[in-house]
């Protein structure tokens, strides 16, 4: 595979006009590519979420065990992303991302042919490994290539693709399960993933500020440890854990409630409710851009406050209020993720790849740990128990966000003439 990440230009010699600004053709190509990447990655990852009740029926497993089809994937994904950034430092950003998308799409196609629960979990575990090459590296690419004034919008648009992918994967499998079989839906998602991967390969511009670094485990460990000297990064990592942990738990178990009395909705209708995900395509870009103008410290707490209101609305017995609550949770989550992920890239200095990997490690561990734990709360207390658990996660995130309001902003980041020297921290 030809890696266009090495066009012969180093970070030290890149001209200032090589940064990608919004409104330029390079910005549009980048966002087309990363929109396609987000569409593929999160469709492939979350396509099993509406199928969990089907797994209960087909394989005779419990609600908590059926959640392993997602929790195992995100758990392996979280760990593998700690190393994906280092591999992309040595091999190039684009090569790692293209291989990640295409191999993951093939594994999802294989999932549809698995005859028993054990083999399905094995393939879903391998999927976590292959998917790890895209999310952390995509964040790193944006942090390296986008101008500071454009990175919030760029990250938001990438997350918009993630929102469409997450919604599309759930919607396709949820609806097709009612009319055909869950395996048909999974195959369709896999094909979409392959097409999206090819679009990404063709559209993504070459890196201008990537500097290849030999793969050294000692240097990699040093860059990881250096991040924890920053007063803000560890708290931002924890915010990622809480954001996705709360969000995934809502979508993992709300379907059980809506399929049961008094609502008695069908799988197709529950799948259509996942269309609310589309709100993320707006909220991630809008809140990311707003945070870039007003300051991330001033906007982040509002995302958690909105999620808390949404969780409270899901406790009502009105379907319309429950749907409004899902809208609020979804809007707050995607906005919060857009703010935190771009903030991590801005604070990380020369360790952008490692900071992105650590953030996403915590982010997906939130999905894995909280997503599974939510099943235990559902078994013991139904939706009320799950909502109490989610509410505790969101309140913790809100408290941290209010604490980050006092975090001292970085200095001298209005311009980025060259990447920071190796090992430097802002």
Q: What is the pLDDT of residues 213-231, one digit of tens each?
A: 666 666 656 666 666 667 7
pLDDT value at residue 167: 72
The answer to whether 277 and 164 are in contact (CB under 8 A) is yes
What would the two tokens of residue 400 be?
A: 């941290």
Task: Kindly tell me if the per-residue pLDDT of 290 is higher than 50.
Answer: yes
Whole-angstrom Cα distance, residue 80 to residue 185? 27
More confident residue, 189 or 38: 189
Residue 25 has a CB neighbour count (10 Å cut-off) of: 9
Please check whether residue 86 is in contact with residue 100, taking contact to mean a CB–CB distance below 8 angstroms. Answer: no
Range in 95-109, 335-349, 379-393 the model is least confident about: 335-349
Count the Cβ atoms, other than its own, within 10 Å of residue 214: 7
Q: What pLDDT is recorded for position 418?
A: 33
pLDDT reading at 143 higher than 50: yes
pLDDT at residue 349 in the model: 65
Q: What is the mean pLDDT of residues 193-216?
A: 78
Mean pLDDT, rounded, for 115-136: 89
Confidence of residue 424 (pLDDT cuts 50, 70, 90): very low
pLDDT higher for 74 or 209? Answer: 74
Mean pLDDT of 346-351: 68
**The pair of three-digit structure tokens given for residue 93, joined into one six-digit string:** 């950003």
Dist. CA 108–CA 111, nearest whole Å: 5
Q: What does the longest C-alpha to C-alpha distance in the chain come to?
A: 65
70-105 in b/e form (b: 16+ CB < 10 A) is: bbbbbbbbbebbbbbbbbbbebbbbbbbbbbbbbbb
How remote is the C-alpha of 139 from its chain's centroid?
10
- Does the reported pTM lie above 0.85? no
What does the alpha-carbon distance between residue 36 and residue 30 come to, in Å, rounded to a whole number?
A: 10
Quick one: average pLDDT of 340-363? 77
Confidence class for position 96, pLDDT limits 50, 70, 90: confident
Quote the mean pLDDT of the chain. Answer: 79
In this prediction, residue 22 carries a pLDDT of: 66
pLDDT confidence of 109, banded at 50, 70, 90? Answer: very high
Mean pLDDT for 360-366 is 85
Q: Give the tokens for residue 153.
A: 């919008």
State whether residue 91 is helix, strand or coil: helix
Res. 1: pLDDT tops 70: no
Supply the pLDDT for residue 17.
58
pLDDT at 12: 39
What is the dotted CATH code of the domain comprising 15-208+222-404? Answer: 1.20.1250.20
pLDDT tens digits for 265-286? 887 777 777 677 777 667 776 7
Domain boundaries, the chain: 15-208+222-404
Percentages of the chain per state (helix, strand, coil), in multiples of 5: 80, 0, 20
The pLDDT confidence band at residue 353, using thresholds 50, 70 and 90, is low
Q: What is the mean pLDDT of residues 67-76?
A: 88
């Amino acid at each position: 595979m030809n890696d266009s990440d090495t066009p012969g230009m180093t970070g030290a010699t890149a001209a200032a006009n090589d940064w990608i600004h919004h409104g330029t053709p390079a910005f549009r190509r980048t966002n087309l590519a990363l929109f396609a990447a987000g569409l593929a990655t999160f469709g492939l990852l979350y396509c099993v979420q509406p199928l969990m009740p089907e797994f209960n029926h087909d394989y005779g497993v419990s609600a908590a065990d059926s959640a392993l089809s997602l929790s195992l994937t995100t758990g392996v994904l979280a760990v593998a992303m700690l190393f994906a950034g280092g591999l992309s430092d040595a091999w190039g950003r684009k090569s790692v991302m293209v291989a990640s998308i295409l191999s993951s799409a093939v594994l999802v196609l294989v999932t549809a042919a698995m005859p028993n629960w054990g083999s399905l979990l094995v393939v879903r575990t391998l999927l976590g490994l292959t998917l790890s090459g895209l999310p952390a590296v995509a964040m790193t690419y944006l942090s390296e290539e986008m101008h500071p004034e454009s990175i919030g919008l760029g990250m938001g648009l990438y997350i918009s693709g993630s929102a469409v992918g997450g919604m599309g994967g759930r919607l396709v499998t949820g609806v097709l399960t009612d009319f055909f079989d869950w395996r048909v839906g999974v195959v369709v998602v896999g094909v979409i993933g392959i097409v999206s991967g090819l679009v990404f390969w063709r559209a993504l511009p070459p890196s201008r500020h990537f500097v290849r670094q030999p793969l050294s485990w000692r240097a990699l460990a040093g860059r990881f440890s250096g991040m924890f000297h920053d007063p803000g990064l560890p708290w931002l990592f924890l915010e990622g854990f809480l954001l996705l942990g709360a969000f995934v738990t809502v979508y993992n178990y709300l379907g059980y409630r809506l399929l049961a009395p008094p609502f008695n909705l069908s799988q197709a209708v529950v799948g259509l409710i996942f269309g609310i995900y589309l709100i993320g395509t707006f909220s991630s870009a809008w809140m990311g851009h707003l945070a870039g103008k007003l300051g991330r410290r001033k906007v982040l707490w509002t995302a958690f406050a909105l999620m808390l209101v949404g969780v409270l609305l899901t406790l009502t017995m009105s379907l319309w209020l429950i749907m409004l609550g899902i809208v609020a949770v979804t809007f707050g989550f995607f906005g919060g993720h857009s703010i935190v992920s771009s903030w991590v890239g801005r604070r990380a200095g020369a360790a952008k790849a490692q900071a992105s990997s650590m953030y996403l490690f915590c982010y997906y561990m939130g999905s894995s740990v909280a997503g599974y734990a939510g099943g235990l709360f559902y078994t013991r207390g139904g939706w009320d128990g799950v909502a109490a658990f989610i509410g505790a996660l969101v309140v913790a995130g809100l408290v941290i966000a209010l604490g980050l309001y006092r975090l001292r902003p970085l200095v001298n980041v209005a311009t980025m003439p060259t990447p920071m020297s190796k090992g430097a921290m802002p």
